């Protein structure tokens, strides 16, 4: 199986399982991950998700061996681009929070995936980067989320120079929440996920939905949406 699923109480753990390919995202894995994120988000018994990778890497990004075949078909290339876009979009559309456990290298699309979660724990020896420009391509889809998470100067440096950064730099830029020894990455990710899962589910769902909505709204509109949610709060408070 290219994606392992395990339940730990109210936390669902998803593990990218192509260690021989450094968990590179081919079409099959991308489709399965997108599907399982949607499934988990719809389940009442899942209150948080942890996403990690098997082996020594989190995710090496797109499977370049597969991309060679896409070059011969415009339709296939367009379908794959759409699939990738939907995967990176789903995280902000879900009401279930996702914690990424970045256990090793996260490059290109893998870096985008690592940062797409709501919280991130990174191994102290892990690296994160966007090397696409060095290979004559563009860190296109992942750029949108990156630009929302760091300032424009830092984001442009990452996508233009293509040089990986270490965990300390990622933490300083606010790209991750915690840096831990590799053997404690999952432990800390599960701890955060369990803390989230202990919060009232309706309150957390509204918190996450409002958070991503106000990110792209002018202040007055953001405050109006916040007012609307504030009015609903009595409906999902614990007794």
Query: How far, CA to CA in Å, does 97 sit from each of 29, 129, 212?
Result: 21, 24, 12
The answer to whether the CB of 156 falls within 8 A of the CB of 198 is no
What is the Cα–Cα distance from 192 to 184, expressed in whole angstroms? 12
The tally of CA atoms less than 13 A away on the side-chain side of residue 165 is 19
157 is catalytic: no
* DSSP per residue, 58-98: EE--B-HHHHHHHTT-HHHHHHHHHHHHHHHHHHHH-SS-E
> Which residue in 29, 12, 21, 169 sits closest to 101, CA to CA?
12
User: Which of 66, 78, 124, 132 is the catalytic position?
Assistant: 132
What is the Cα–Cα distance from 121 to 143, expressed in whole angstroms? 20
> Which residue in 48, 175, 179, 55 sits closest to 111, CA to CA?
175
Query: How far, CA to CA in Å, does 26 sit from each of 49, 80, 84, 227?
Result: 22, 9, 10, 43
What is the Cα–Cα distance from 169 to 105, expressed in whole angstroms? 14
What is the Cα–Cα distance from 218 to 126, expressed in whole angstroms? 36
Which residues are known catalytic residues?
132
């Amino acid at each position: 199986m290219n994606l392992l699923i395990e339940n730990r109480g109210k936390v669902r753990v998803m593990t990218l399982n192509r260690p021989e390919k450094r968990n590179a995202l081919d079409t099959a894995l991308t489709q399965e991950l997108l599907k399982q994120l949607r499934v988990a988000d719809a389940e009442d018994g899942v209150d948080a998700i942890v996403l990690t990778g098997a082996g020594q890497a989190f995710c090496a990004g797109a499977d370049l061996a597969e991309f060679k075949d896409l070059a011969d078909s415009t339709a296939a290339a367009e379908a794959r681009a759409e699939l990738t876009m939907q995967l990176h979009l789903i995280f902000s559309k879900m009401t279930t929070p996702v914690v990424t456990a970045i256990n090793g290298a996260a490059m290109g699309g893998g870096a985008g995936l690592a940062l797409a979660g709501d919280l991130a724990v990174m191994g102290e020896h892990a690296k994160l980067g966007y090397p696409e420009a060095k290979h004559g391509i563009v860190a296109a889809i992942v750029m949108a989320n990156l630009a929302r998470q760091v300032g424009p100067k830092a984001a442009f440096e990452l996508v233009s120079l293509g040089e990986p950064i270490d965990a300390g730099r990622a933490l300083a830029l606010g790209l991750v929440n915690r840096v831990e020894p590799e053997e404690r990455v999952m432990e800390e990710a599960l701890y955060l996920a369990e803390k989230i899962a202990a919060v009232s589910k309706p309150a957390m769902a509204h918190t996450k939905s409002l958070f991503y909505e106000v990110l792209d709204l002018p202040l007055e509109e953001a405050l109006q949406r916040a007012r609307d949610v504030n009015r609903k709060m009595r409906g999902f408070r614990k007794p």
